[in-house]
Structures are given as structure tokens and as C-alpha cells.
Structure 1
Amino acid sequence: MTVRNLNYLFHPKSVAIIGASNKPHGVGTTVLENVVHAGFHGDIYPVNPKYETLCGLKTYPDIASLPGAPDLAVICTPPASVPGLISQLGERGTRAVIVLTAGLSAHRDWRGRTMKELMLAAAKPYLLRILGPNCVGMLVPGIGLNASFAHINALPGKIAFVSQSGAMVTGVLDWARSRNIGFSKFVSLGDSVDVDFGDVIDYLASDPDTQAILLYIEAVSSARKFMSAARAAARSKPTLVIKAGRVAEGAKAATSHTGALAGADDVYDAAIRRAGMLRVYSTEELFDAVETLARLRPLSGERLAILTNGGGPGVMATDTLVCSGGKLASLSAATLDRLHAVLPSNWSKANPIDIVGDAPPERYTQALQILLADKEVDATLFIHAPTAIVPSLDIATTLAPIIKQSYPNVLACWLGGDSVAAARRIFTDIGVPTYDTPEKAIGAFMQMVRYRRNQQLLMEVPSAISRTHLEDKKRARAIIEQVIADGRELLSEWEAKQVLAAYGIPIVETRTVNDPAAAGREAQDVGFPVALKILSPDITHKSDVGGVVLDLESAEAVAEAAERMHARLRELYPHARLAGFTVQAMARRPEGRELIVGVATDPVFGPVILFGQGGIAVEVTADRAIALPPLNGVLARELISRTRIARLLGAYRNRRAADINAICRTLVQVSDMVIDLPELQELDINPLFADADGVIALDARICVKPVKDNGLEQLAIRPYPAELEEWVQWQSAELLLRPIRPEDGAAHLAFFNALDPEDVRYRMFIRMRELSPSQLARLTQIDYDREMAFIATRRLDTGAWETLGVARVVADPDNVEAEFAVIVRSDLKGQGLGYALMKKLIAYCSDRGTQRIVGEALSYNHGILNMASNLGFEVSPSTEGGTMIMKLELKPQ
């Protein structure tokens, strides 16, 4: 991931158009005209040897003749010319290029190399960034730059739009212009051979001109890079996604239920949710999302009041809201009394608030002001149907000043066409999101609700899950290594269950036998009744061959069932191999719910975890949800909540509620397996029985494949780096220096509360009395790919851990420079704990290849300044005064 030289792309001071021309409808002609007419104030260099002037500008025959190196170049020439032009531009000092040309992968040189390969090779020595090829270009309205062949210019605004589809670029551009919506950046990625979603999202996350980010995605090529950038951006700016291509594409060769169920679109949905972004599902929703983002403030809650002059539209809005999972605000008694006082006796007397069709502007004003003052209402939807009694324009004119000055969000729905056009325009002009139908308005509101929920999940500090068993990783790894050494991919049922047991997942005692007679003998030893299952590496689902028989009560019945199983296998699948049978005790769980927990490997995002309703009809019921590892308690519970069977896990009739904590624990244990065992490609626990007494795995199937490295790179989100844990001696005691975890939230809050206010000011440069939940989440839920926080922690006599100090470092996306901060509990200062943390942090940065570490401290914070000097930092006054800059150049390893 890198944003290097992207400032030249998005904020150039000069632009060269290579291939500029005056041919009617030519790309070079359109781009030059767009650059000139959009109002770009920098230097513009048309380049084409056929012309002396174009658009009134001096035209240059080639790159060498340019008066200087352009910050940005736009290439509109044939594919074969592109690599050479890139090389020439790099030599001149250009650091950003937009390549509009298509077909670079289809054209090859005499040695068989594609023009795309040659282009990238030419750019590499100069760190020259390439947007495209095969793109529409880019617009930055704030600086008057339209370096594209779009048919219309963009208005300046605060939303960035990034698209892989050129058609979506021009379509959204046209629509937004008609709605008077502006943009900070408008980017067509094209083939994304260099600059991709991760790069652009990373740049936009810190772009002061961008308040919200909108993405149109067809495919992501680098999942880890995308997720890291998206999670960082979504923490600070609303980020919306429309994902095209929702057809499952990754389950064609699946050997498990999970592999068949985990379609590619489900995985993208899980990734978008995990990153804290909001997904929309159609072009129409995308347009509504733009409208909402451009005009709505972040929601403080989800309770909606509906104010209408007609009962029908109010009921339609309510139906849509409730069916979408939204919340209708319950009006307080005081609000109802106030409404009674100003509304006619035949008003609805509830939410939705129907103020009757003959309502004059004053009635609208009074009712709306009452709703805006109600603390039980988080947002209000205003719906108006035109009448002949009161002109819609009068109502809009009266309400506009009130809405403009209110803090709670107001959405509007003006039903009708020409008769409400002027009223709709007044609301649009003051920034009120305005929709044509109640359904569209509710849809937009629910978009913000879903985004709010994703943000809450992103920011939430989870508590630690109490694990009842220690994980025997070595035992699980030995089983998998032996399977791979045997040349197998599928573990036997017994082997699979041993892996589950190693990770603390309860299993039914299972014994493996080779023949029917042995099955009968083992059944006697296990104790009746028993379940008998067939073992065959060639049969994916045992039920396909009648390979599961339950409640067998005698050795003879077991042996006979085994014989019949073998006969059915020979008849139905004559080439299938019989590896034997398994015998297990019947699990008597009359209140048990059949669940499935599984793992599949997505070609883009790597391993994903599936949860849902289990049983033999799992593909038919299709009740499942997917999440990306690593999981913790909060994420596991949220995964469960997205399934229909979640409602059956609670108590109903005479059935006790299932142990949700045990299910969550199982999901986290499976997540740990994914991280520890990269060879694991697919996993089914189906069924996993869950009841009030816990969970038990009745059947399990695991598919493995060899991996070349530690396998962590296949994970879309980097897990907790346990390898960085280190025990050290400090003040005659043992401390653990380790990366911070989300589960450290409570301990970190206690650590902050133990700091002196002055120490907090030294660290934050401001006085802070408490940490908000979102601040605590940002300090403990870090992206280990781009940030690191080491804590010093020790175990108390109670068994709990306390945090004594923390050293934090955040690197830029290029890993050139990393900014550090360190703080130690106030009563422990001056005892060497800060030195220990800083030494670990410096070693980490050096190993990671960071070039320098920098920090800033108040000029009278002598403790940190002296420590930095002793550790080799160069300390000097900042240009702003009052603070000191600490800088340490690291030697490459």
C-alpha cells in the first residue's frame, strides 16, 4: 500500500496531455478541452507533433521539448507508444500519469511482453504512479481539474467517488450535476495496474477536502491492502460501497457444505461490513446514498418520527421502516400533550403524526418544532402530498428556516410532480435530503442506520471470552502434517474431531473401525445406543449413500447396518473407496438446535467463517452468515445475530435458551484454528448441537492443502501477532511486553484513569478527563498492518492483567516514517519501564523496514526528551514553537 506521489495526481500544478488533438470527438480533443474549460489554473502542455497550437495553447512536439516536467501527464495515444512515453516522462521528473488507453494487455512486443508489463517496468525506477489504463480519467473540481473525457464537468463538493466502471463515472456525474451535488474527487480506476482502491482510499482518508467516500467495486485484487485502507478510512469518514457481480463464483469445486454456501458476494458483504463501510445494492440506492451523504449529519440514534398530511403515505412509510428493521419513535407523553394542543382533534394521536390534509403552514411549523425538541426522536421524515387548499410552496418556504437551524436530521418526501417541484427545490437548496416516495426516503434513512450499526461494531470494545480449554496446537498440527504427508486432502472424521478437541471444542466420543464386525464390538464398548457412520474419502455428504444410522441398540444391529452401508456404497458409487466406519455414542440433546459452523477459502479474501442453521438440508434452508477472521466475542455474537436461527436460540415455550456464550466461544476457537493452521482450506461442523448446557460437535469434515509460508498473508485482516510477545525482567518482577488487543479495553481504561492529568496533557497536548468509547476502541482495536501499540502488563493475584505502560507507533502507508508516543502509569515513572517499551518499539520498526521514527513532545516534558536523547534520537525545536521534535534514523536490516 502506498500513497507516494499521489499528491501529484490529485493536486498537480501542471498537466501535459500526450496525444492532444482537434479531431472531432477524439479522446485527445475531449481531454484537452476539458482541462482547459474546467478552469485549471496551472500550466497546460498539449503534446502532439502535428500541431503548433491547440485550444489557443502552444503545443509541443514531444516530451523532451516541454519547458519543464509536468506534475501530471494524461496519455491518450495507442498502446504501443505508452511504455516509451512513461519512460520519457519518468526521466523528465513526472511522478503521476493517467493512462486512458485501452488494450495494453492485448498488445505485445517481439519478445512476447505485453504493453502493460513494459509500462509498469518503465515506471518503476522513477516511482511514477499510474492511474488506469483503460479509464475515463479523473476530476478534481476544487482546483478546476478535469483530466478526463467525461461529457460533463463535476461541481465542487465534499464527496469522493471512485469507480472501476467508466460508465458509472459518467452516469453518476450526470445525475449529480442535475441534483446540484458536488465532489472533491472523481476517479475512474480502470484496470488498476498500479493505483488501486487501497491507494486511493488511503489518500482520501486524510484528504481535508473529502468528507465522505463512495466506491463502485467490481472486484478487489489485494484484499489485505483494501481492508486495511478501508477500515482506517471508515473510522473517520462515511464510506459507501456498491458492489457489482453478486453471482457466487468461488464454490464450483467445494468439498463441504461451507464451501458450497460461501458465495463470493456473501464474502464481499462480510468484508464491507467488517470494514465499517455501508453497502448499497443498486444504482438507484447508490444515487440515494449520494443524496443522503451529501446532506445528512451522522445519526445519533435510530428512532424515526414521521410527520405527514396524509394517513396513507404515513402508513406506507411505517410499513417500509418496520419491514426494513427500523425503529418507529415512541412519542413521549409531553410531546403528545403538546401535539394535542396545536393539532385538530382528528389527528392520528400517534407516530406517524398525521396532521390532516387541510393543514396550513403554521400547523406544519408547530408540529415539526415539537418533534425536533423531543429527545426520544433521533430523526424526522416529513411527507407532504399536494392539496388545493394550501400551496406546497408556502409550506416549504415556512419550514425551510426551521429545518436549516435544527440539529436533528430531517428527511423530506414531496409526493407528486410539477405541483411540488418548487417546494422540493427549496428543501434541496437548504441541504435537506429530498425523495419522491416514502419508500425511497425510508430506504435512505435505513442506509444511515445500517452504516451507524457497522460503525458501532467497528468501534465497540469487546470483552475477553473465557476459554475453558487450553489449545493443543501441536497435537492439531501433527494430525494435519501427517495427512498431508500421506498425500491426502480430507481428514477422516476421527482426525477432524481430534483437531476440534485440540482447540477445546466439545466432541462426541468417536471410534474408527475397519469392518462391520469390529463396528459391533466397538459399539458394545461405547455403550448403546450408538450412531454408525460410513468413512469414505470419496463421499462428501454421508447421507447421500445412507451413510448415517442412529439409535442402534445392539452389536448385531450395528454390524448389519455397516454391511448395508457398504452395499449401498458399491451400488451407488462403485469406484468410491471404503476407509471404514465410525461408531459414536448417541448425543441425547432433546433441546438441541442444529447449527453449522464452517470455514471456506475465498480466492480474494482468503479464509472466511460461516455460521447458520445446520442439518442435511443446510443448502436448501440457506440460513447462514459469513464473517472474516479473526473473530472475538463481539464479532462472533454479531455473526450469529445475522441469521434467522438466531431467534430460535432464545427461550420459547418449554425450551430453554441455548448457551450463546458457548456458541461464540466455538466460533472464536474456529477462528483461532484458521490463524494457527493455514493449511486448513475447508471445515464443516455440521451439526453442532447447542442447548442450555453448551455445544457439542456431532460431525466434522476438514479439507487441507500444503502452504508455502506461514499462511498469514492469505488472511484479509492481519491477526494478533503473538510472535511479538516477550517476557522481560523489571524491578525484580516479570512483565509481558506484547501488542495491545481489543480485549484490553477494560484494563486500558483503568490505566488511563490512573494517569495524572498532567501526564495526559504531556501525551495528548490537551487536558482529558476521560476516554470516550470510540476513543478507547481506537486505542485498543488497531490494524496491526499499519499501527502497533506495545503494552507492558502484569498478572495480579486475582488472575487479571493490569496495564502499566504503552508505546505506540503509526507508520505512513509507505513505511518511510512512523510517529511514536509512549506513556507510563504515573506512579511508575522513572523506573525504566518507558525505556523497555521504546526499545521494543524501535526493534519492531527496524525489523519492519521503517526508515525513521519521529515524535513530538512539549518542550518542558523533560522525561520523554531525555529518554529519546539517550536512545539516539535527534531532538530539536519545532517550527511552531512550544514543542520539540524527536527523530531517529533507522539502519536497514
Structure 2
Amino acid sequence: MSTHNLDKLFAPTSVTVIGASNRPHTVGNLIMRNLLQGGFEGPIMPVHPKSQAVTGVLAYPTVEDLPIVPDMAVVVVPPAAVPGVIDSLGRKGVKAAIVITAGLGQVVDEQGVTAQARMVEIARRYSMRLLGPNCVGLLVPGVNLNASFLHEPARPGKVAFVSQSGALCTAVMDWASPRGIGFSHFISLGDNLDVDFGDTIDYLGTHPDVRAILLYIEAVRDARKFLSAARAASRNKPVLAIKAGRVAEGAKAAASHTGALAGADHIYDAAFRRAGVLRVYNLEELFEAVETVAHQRRLVGERLAIMTNGGGIGVMAVDDLIDMGGSLATLSDDTVEKLNKVLPPTWSKANPIDIIGDAPGKRYTDSMEILFQAPEVDSVLVMHAPTAISSPDEIAGKVIDLYNKNKKAHVTTCFVGEGAVANARRMFAHAHIPSYETPDQAVRAFMHTVTFARNRKMLMETPPSLPVEFTPAATTARLIIEASMSRGSMIMNEPDAKAVFSAYGIPTVETHIARGPDEAAEIADRMGCSVAVKILSPDITHKSDVGGVVLNLNTPEETRQAAQNILDRVGQVYPDARIDGFTVQKMMRRPGAHELIIGVATDAVFGLVILFGEGGTAVEVIADRAVTLPPLNMNLARNLIENTRIYKRLQGYRDRPAADLESICLTLIKVSQLVIDVPEIVELDINPLFADSQGVLAVDARIKLDPSPQASAQRMAIRPYPKTLEEWFTMTDGRSVLLRPIRPEDEPKHYEFVSRLTPEDIRFRFFGLVKELPHDQMARLTQIDYAREMAFIARADLDKDGEEETLGVVRTVTDADNQRTEFSIVVRSDLKGSGLGLALLEKMIRYARDRGTTTMIGQVLKDNTRMLHFCENLGFKRARMVEEDVVELELDLQHTGDKAPA
């Protein structure tokens, strides 16, 4: 349902309380008092079967007796009574309810259905939104709504707080109130059986009074909805999260190294990064971070200059910065020379910039002006320790004045101490300049802005095209996998797994199967090279652990004896293990090659995850890994590599050349595409993957399969590129063009496309003259969320260099409820009459209808008569005038008319 009817929940004009009570110290009594004391201006209607009034307000014996249909209900009745109450509210026409009651899952009716399941079923029947159950309620200070049993009200503010934990709601309110922290919304999700994180983020992400969204997460239920909502909101405002349960209880048994290494907390980290969410680890850090990222100017780089009147606190800040992975700016000779002219001779001559303890406000601002202009400095941390000579208030005033004059300056302040600097910190807070008490707090705040900027950049980055044309032999891989499943082999043997990887263009080592020691010797003789022998058994996951691998065998007899010894060892350790034989593979000697691991595992929440790190037999001990969510492009693949310790070594050191990072990235992309194309793959390993300056080579491979129905497209938290929507179309002049979904890599060609539109094309499309689109806006047009948006482009080999060229585009943006989708379309003027515009819009109509969208709308300038007639011929109706010169058209997608395409 997403945001459907959430306005009734979060901005009601009338409220009823079912279970309201006159008894002191009860939840029903406290909720009534909070509603009244909060100043809610609409009707508050308690329902009580016996009392004439509750807390002095006229009460009604039943829901049916309510004089009006309330927007929202608060339900505080025993668990067994909740389904009946929800049914009564639904019949009355109520569209939103907060269910405070807990324990619904333990109450079972005569049909064996829990009260919880029955409640949800009834609510959906009436399209009623439910907050809870088992929650403390909801506060919206902007409309004076306190529909909760919290012990104190929330102050008004611009920050929304959403929590799964009721106890944490109480703690946050208690923590925030004395600090003067206010909220636009304060939402307790409870068991979030209906309204969940995705729904609330969708609602709050477009709310004009919400500057930032704070989340306390214990578990995400609908990963795809959560990521889609968070990615959309993060482009507009900061989204910050605390994730509870960071420490895993223990790794479950897995069929691969990846399954053991990809811990749930690492996966949440990866999901947050992909969604642009900033993760923090405690309440104080949460509110520090939101003050920083919500008020701070946009950071354009990561190099920090630290300016201080005390050397000690400056050094502490440097230590903290390096420990947190930050970047200390290196002052250029030119900057040092300029600082020499305004600072005492004894200043530090380097970063941190010690301007000496007696520094007055002017010395601070003189230095800051130079640092603001220094190209090697992206941000300045201004530190001050109180002395008997200088005035913190005077320094703060000067810093604020200079900051306001330099609109692009990025500044964080740290005035250490208590009483002497308290007013200076208040001055900074009033000026919306982040200010902190200690060096580590200030540096951590700066790193929050760095992480936030990185996450936003990842959302907006234009990925490069693949370095080589990548066309997998998908049919070959499918046949190999189906043959394995037909034999009942859900863990593919090594040769078959390598054959699948080879079909996707991943270089592998020549490998053969031997049924016994003698056959192993024969294979080694035919190969005529040094070989390795490994046990082949579906029951043995890690072959090295049981002595099931022998390397560097140079003769057939050595090979036969090694195979026999393996049989003997395995027979002693695992006497019941099924032995299918051995693999005999060519020994690959790559001196100096790095041993890496690339793997895939399936997470219970986020589905498929991709892992990268240092490989080898000690991979779990080394535990150098990073995880991400598919699908991948070159930028995302490189970012994954950069998040590991081995990345520095891959860049080369001493006499060891750099590894071919492009080949490693491409291998990650190929693995990503493989698991997208083959839904039966639930786990895989390439370990080790040799990587050096010559490229990559998969030495060992493992694939685990699961043919059950759960292996579907929904197993991916981020919907991949929908290749099945590609189709060819022949224009009236006989030229063939490809109609396909837009991709992030299309951004450069999209600039060319827009540049070739006529002024009239641009006016009709953008309702005004647009000279050029900035990168941020173009990124939003090309980097779409296929779960919610769609854009089909027409591409053809038409330009003088024979490269693909964009000829036209149609796009839709669908509301989170999948009820209405708004379209726009533009085709180059020189292609009018080619049939391309009709083909694009008909394709989009079919797509929207197939996904169950109810209505398609579009806004067209009144003087664009050609477009108006074009749409009306497809079945669109003129719905209304949006403005004096803008017509809104509407198409009923679920009613097949004579003109609308089927």
C-alpha cells in the first residue's frame, strides 16, 4: 500500500480513541490526556461502552455511534477484541488506526487464526492503514497531535524520528527534551505489520516540513521497498539510521566461504550505502550527525585543514581523523607563504595549523580566509581552547561573520571546555554552524559529512561503460545448470561450476574429472604438465581442511599415489562421505599473483549479496571482505574493491606491479550478471581468484543451487536492469531502432540527445526554455529505480562514427501505491512522422498496464495541439486545466477502450 491513506494517519483532522478510560495510570487514560493537552484542534471522540464522558470529553458507546467518520483511530483494547474493533472502524469508513495493544500473535480464534493475522486481513479489506500493533503511538507537533502514551510531548522541529522500539522512543524523548531537540514527526512502528519503514520514508521523504529522517532499525521486512524509498528520499534530504543487533550470534553452516563470511551486519552496511543512508551507532552520534548533515553546506572534497590555538588539541584531532579514515590536507608552499604573513613566526608551518594560544578573532579570520581560497583545502575545522587573553565570544562572532560572507565555505567548530565557551557554542548553533565540545566529536561530525557526501555521490555517479563487450553464453550456462539439477546435484562439481563461469567470460583453469586414482594418473599423463588433484565430493565443502588437495604433481605415478592418499585420509575423517572421484587440474604458476575471493550468498532480508576480499585457505581467519548488493556496474565494483584492506596491495608496491583492477571489476560484474540471469544460484565461490597485472584466473569454483519457487526476481533487493523489456522497432523509413529501458551509462548520450532538441521540443517537454541540464538532474533522469520508475529510450547506430545515438525517450514516475503514473515523452523533431513516438508511448502504456497501475496522466501545454491530438487518439481524456496554459490528460489503464493499445 505504501503512502495510501497515510495522510489520514499523520495529518488527521479528527481522532477517535477506542478503549479510552477514566482510570488513572492506564494507557487509555494517558492517550486521551496527551491528545487534549497537545492542543489538537479537531474533534477527539472517546469510545466507552459505559461512561458518558472520558477525561471530560463526551464519549460514545460504540464506533457506530460516532457522529462523524474520524480520520484516524487509536485502539487500546484487549488483544482478542482488536479484530472486531478494526472491522467496526472499517465499516464506519475510518482509513487509519494506531493499534497500541500488544500480544495479538498469542491470541487464536476458533478457526486457528491469530488475532494479529485477522486484524491485518480485515484492515486490508477496507484499505485501512495500521500503525503497530505493540507501539507507543504517534506525535506530529506541527498539527498538535500527541496520539501516544509517552511521558512528555515532543517539541516542534524539522527532524522526523521513526523507531521499531517503543522503549527507545521513551528514551529518545527523555534524551531530546532537555537538549531542546524538536521533531516534525515522532513515529513508533511497533511490530510494523502494515505501515513500515518503506512507507514512512516515502511519506516523510516528500514532506516539506521534514529536513532529515532518523531511523532506529531492528530488522527490515520488505528490503526492496525499504531501499527504493530510502534511495528516493536520500536524494532530497539526509536519512540516518541506527541498526540494532550488530553482533552476530554465530556464523551458520554454509556451503561456501562466502556464506560464512557475509555476516548480516555487513549486509545492512552495504544496503545503507547503496540507499544513501548514513549509519551511526548511538543516540548522541545520531543527533550530532543530523545537526551536521542537515545544516552543513555541501562538501565538495574530503581534505580537512585543522586550525587551532592549542597544539595539543590539534594533534588529537589529527589522530582522530586518521583513525577514522579521513584525509588531512597538505598545505601548498603558496598557502604556507600566505599564512606566514598573518601568523606569528612561531606558528606550526603545517597542518594542523597552530595559530598560537593568544590568537584573537582577527587572527582566526585572517587564517580562515587564506584556507578558504586554498585549492588543497576542502573544509576547515576551527578549534579553540579558552585562555586568559582571548575571548571565545569575540572569536565566534568573527568566525560567524566570515562564514556568512563565504557562501561556499565548509566549516566545523570545536571550542573545548565548558563555562567559558558555552555561549560561543550557542552562537554557532544559532548561526547553524556545527559546534562540538571535543576533538573526536568534531572529527566524527566531519567524517559524517564525508560519508554522507560519498553516499550521495554514489547515488548520482555516472558509471563508465564496460571496457569490453560482454555477451555471456547464457544458454550454455543454463544447460549445464539444468543437467546438474537433473542429477540431483544441488552443489555443482568443480568442472561444471568452472564451465558456467567460462560461459560468462571468466577465465578458468583447465580441469577434468577422474573417477579413481588410476584415471587421475591417465589424465595427468595426457595433460603433460604439473597438476593438482582434489577430492570430488558433495559432502565435503572445504577440501583443504580434510587433506583433500595435493599440489605440484609432476608425474602420472605421483598423481595416482596422491589420489590414493587422499582417499585414505578422507576415509578416516569422513567415512560416510560420498566420493565421486577427483578433479585433476593444470597447476597455474602465477608468481606474485594475489589470491582473491569473489562470492555470492543469499541473505534472509536483502537476498543476493556479492562478496569480495582476500582469498585463499585462510580466508575466514583473514576476514578481509566487503559486501554489496547486485546489480553492479564498473563504479560499484571498484567501490567494493576499495572497501577491503587488500585494495592497497592491488595497486602495486615496491617491485610488484599493480593488478589489473579493470579485469577484477569486470569479473565482479560478470558474476553479478550470472546470478541475475540464473535464479537457481543461491551461493557461489571463486576462491582463489588469481589477480595480477596480466588479468584474472579462477582457480577453484563452487556453485550451490536451489530450484524452489523462492528463487525468483524478488530475491534481489534492488531490481536489476529489465532486459526482457528490450524490443526492436522499424520506423517508417525502414530503419531499425532498439527500444529499451534507460541505463545509468546512457547519461553522456542523453546530453547529446537534449542538445539536439529544438527550442520548441524543449519548451513542450520542460514547459520552458532550458539551456542545459546539470549533472544531478541528468543523473536522476538516467539512474532510475526500475521498481518505481521507467524510461524507455530509442537507440540506433545513426551518428557519423557509427555509435549508438538516442532518438527519443518516454518516461513514467509512479506513486508508491502504484495507482497513478505520470508520463512524459519527447522525440527529436527530425524524426516526427517516423512512428517512433507512437511506438514509445504504446510500449509504456503496455508496461504500466502489465504492472497493475490504475491511471496514467500527463501534462501538456495547451498550444501543443499535436501532442494533445496524439494522446487523445490513444484514449487519453482531458481531465482538467492544471494552470491557464497546461492541460492534464488521463488514461484509465485498467479499462481497455477501443483506442488504448492492448
Conservation of the 8 A alpha-carbon contact between 1:751 and 1:804: yes
Conservation of the 8 A alpha-carbon contact between 1:234 and 1:275: yes
**TM-aligned CA deviation for residue 587 of structure 1:** 1.1
Conservation of the 8 A alpha-carbon contact between 2:237 and 2:294: no
Where does residue 317 of structure 1 map in the other structure?
317
- Higher mean C-alpha deviation, range 340-349 or range 750-759: 340-349
User: Mapping of 1:777-856 within 5 angstroms?
Assistant: 777-796=779-798, 800-856=803-859
Conservation of the 8 A alpha-carbon contact between 1:15 and 1:70: yes
- Higher mean C-alpha deviation, range 759-768 or range 222-231: 759-768
TM-score when scaled to structure 2? Answer: 0.96
Where does residue 755 of structure 1 map in the other structure?
757
Alignment partner of 1:872 out of 869, 875, 890: 875
- Higher mean C-alpha deviation, range 435-444 or range 20-29: 20-29
**TM-aligned CA deviation for residue 288 of structure 1:** 1.9
Q: Equivalent residue of 1:477, what SS? A: helix
Alignment: residue pair count: 893
Conservation of the 8 A alpha-carbon contact between 2:8 and 2:95: yes
Conservation of the 8 A alpha-carbon contact between 1:249 and 1:264: no
- Higher mean C-alpha deviation, range 695-704 or range 242-251: 242-251
Which residue identity lines up with residue 771 of structure 2 in the other structure? Answer: R
Where does residue 610 of structure 1 map in the other structure?
611
**TM-aligned CA deviation for residue 709 of structure 1:** 6.7
Q: Equivalent residue of 1:105, what SS? A: helix
Conservation of the 8 A alpha-carbon contact between 2:602 and 2:682: yes
User: Mapping of 1:587-736 within 5 angstroms?
Assistant: 587-708=588-709, 711-730=712-731, 731-736=733-738
- Higher mean C-alpha deviation, range 363-372 or range 545-554: 363-372
Where does residue 91 of structure 1 map in the other structure?
91
Where does residue 742 of structure 2 map in the other structure?
740
Q: Equivalent residue of 1:342, what SS? A: coil
TM-score when scaled to structure 1? Answer: 0.97
Which residue identity lines up with residue 382 of structure 2 in the other structure? Answer: F
**TM-aligned CA deviation for residue 15 of structure 1:** 1.3
Where does residue 546 of structure 1 map in the other structure?
547
Deviations 1:352-386 (A, max 9, x none): 22222222334334434444455554332222212
Deviations 1:260-299 (A, max 9, x none): 0011111111111111111112333223223324432332
Conservation of the 8 A alpha-carbon contact between 2:238 and 2:294: no
Where does residue 258 of structure 2 map in the other structure?
258
**TM-aligned CA deviation for residue 140 of structure 1:** 0.9
Indicate yes or no: 2:459 matched with 1:442. Answer: no
Structure 2 distance, partners of 1:876, 1:87, is 35
Where does residue 157 of structure 1 map in the other structure?
157
Structure 2 distance, partners of 1:352, 1:152, is 45
| Deviation beyond 6 Å, 4+ runs, structure 1 | none
Conservation of the 8 A alpha-carbon contact between 1:468 and 1:504: no
Deviations 1:609-660 (A, max 9, x none): 1111010000000001101111111111111111111111122222221111
**TM-aligned CA deviation for residue 23 of structure 1:** 2.8
Deviations 1:693-712 (A, max 9, x none): 11111110111111327711
Conservation of the 8 A alpha-carbon contact between 2:859 and 2:889: yes
Q: Equivalent residue of 1:194, what SS? A: coil
Where does residue 491 of structure 1 map in the other structure?
492
User: Mapping of 1:350-389 within 5 angstroms?
Assistant: 350-372=350-372, 374=374, 376-389=376-389
Conservation of the 8 A alpha-carbon contact between 1:250 and 1:603: no
Conservation of the 8 A alpha-carbon contact between 1:138 and 1:146: yes
Q: 1:25 to 1:293 in 2, by over 3 A?
A: farther
Structure 2 distance, partners of 1:789, 1:345, is 62
Conservation of the 8 A alpha-carbon contact between 2:293 and 2:448: no
Where does residue 345 of structure 2 map in the other structure?
345
Q: Equivalent residue of 2:751, what SS? A: helix
- Higher mean C-alpha deviation, range 31-40 or range 574-583: 31-40
Q: 1:544 to 1:335 in 2, by over 3 A?
A: closer
**TM-aligned CA deviation for residue 777 of structure 1:** 1.6
Which residue identity lines up with residue 535 of structure 1 in the other structure? Answer: L
- Higher mean C-alpha deviation, range 221-230 or range 742-751: 742-751
Conservation of the 8 A alpha-carbon contact between 1:181 and 1:294: no
Q: Equivalent residue of 1:822, what SS? A: strand
- Higher mean C-alpha deviation, range 562-571 or range 335-344: 335-344
- Higher mean C-alpha deviation, range 508-517 or range 754-763: 754-763
Q: 1:251 to 1:815 in 2, by over 3 A?
A: same
Deviations 1:740-784 (A, max 9, x none): 112222222221222223322221123222232222221111111
- Higher mean C-alpha deviation, range 491-500 or range 330-339: 330-339
- Higher mean C-alpha deviation, range 725-734 or range 759-768: 759-768
Q: Equivalent residue of 2:884, what SS? A: coil
- Higher mean C-alpha deviation, range 238-247 or range 378-387: 378-387
Structure 2 distance, partners of 1:654, 1:366, is 46
Conservation of the 8 A alpha-carbon contact between 2:261 and 2:620: yes
Structure 2 distance, partners of 1:342, 1:709, is 68
**TM-aligned CA deviation for residue 458 of structure 1:** 1.2
* Superposition RMSD in Å: 2.0
Q: 1:269 to 1:43 in 2, by over 3 A?
A: same
Which residue identity lines up with residue 601 of structure 2 in the other structure? Answer: A
Q: 1:201 to 1:579 in 2, by over 3 A?
A: same
Q: Equivalent residue of 1:886, what SS? A: strand
**TM-aligned CA deviation for residue 876 of structure 1:** 5.4
Structure 2 distance, partners of 1:662, 1:55, is 71
- Higher mean C-alpha deviation, range 518-527 or range 407-416: 407-416
User: Mapping of 1:151-550 within 5 angstroms?
Assistant: 151-248=151-248, 251-331=251-331, 335-372=335-372, 374=374, 376-403=376-403, 406-407=406-407, 408-467=409-468, 470-550=471-551
**TM-aligned CA deviation for residue 424 of structure 1:** 2.3
Q: 1:55 to 1:304 in 2, by over 3 A?
A: farther
Q: 1:692 to 1:374 in 2, by over 3 A?
A: closer
Structure 2 distance, partners of 1:96, 1:114, is 21
- Higher mean C-alpha deviation, range 148-157 or range 593-602: 148-157
Structure 2 distance, partners of 1:424, 1:611, is 44
Where does residue 770 of structure 1 map in the other structure?
772
Deviations 1:274-328 (A, max 9, x none): 1111111233322322332443233233232222221111111112112222222
Q: Equivalent residue of 1:356, what SS? A: coil
- Higher mean C-alpha deviation, range 562-571 or range 52-61: 52-61
Structure 2 distance, partners of 1:338, 1:884, is 60
Structure 2 distance, partners of 1:409, 1:752, is 34
Conservation of the 8 A alpha-carbon contact between 2:392 and 2:424: yes
Conservation of the 8 A alpha-carbon contact between 1:199 and 1:229: yes
Where does residue 900 of structure 2 map in the other structure?
none
**Where does structure 1 lack aligned partners over 5 or more consecutive residues?**
none
Which residue identity lines up with residue 76 of structure 1 in the other structure? Answer: V
Structure 2 distance, partners of 1:441, 1:648, is 31
Q: 1:761 to 1:173 in 2, by over 3 A?
A: farther
The share of aligned pairs that are identical, in percent, is 55
Structure 1 distance, partners of 2:878, 2:378, is 50
Structure 1 distance, partners of 2:756, 2:57, is 67
Which residue identity lines up with residue 172 of structure 1 in the other structure? Answer: V
Indicate yes or no: 2:864 matched with 1:861. Answer: yes
Where does residue 884 of structure 1 map in the other structure?
887
**TM-aligned CA deviation for residue 732 of structure 1:** 0.6
**Where does structure 2 lack aligned partners over 5 or more consecutive residues?**
897-902
Structure 2 distance, partners of 1:394, 1:227, is 46
Which residue identity lines up with residue 347 of structure 1 in the other structure? Answer: W
Structure 2 distance, partners of 1:156, 1:642, is 40
Conservation of the 8 A alpha-carbon contact between 1:240 and 1:277: yes
Structure 2 distance, partners of 1:435, 1:50, is 56
Structure 2 distance, partners of 1:23, 1:427, is 47
Which residue identity lines up with residue 813 of structure 1 in the other structure? Answer: A
Deviations 1:80-112 (A, max 9, x none): 221111111111121111111111111222332
- Higher mean C-alpha deviation, range 456-465 or range 49-58: 49-58
Q: Equivalent residue of 1:237, what SS? A: coil
Q: Equivalent residue of 1:88, what SS? A: helix
**TM-aligned CA deviation for residue 350 of structure 1:** 2.9
Which residue identity lines up with residue 740 of structure 2 in the other structure? Answer: R
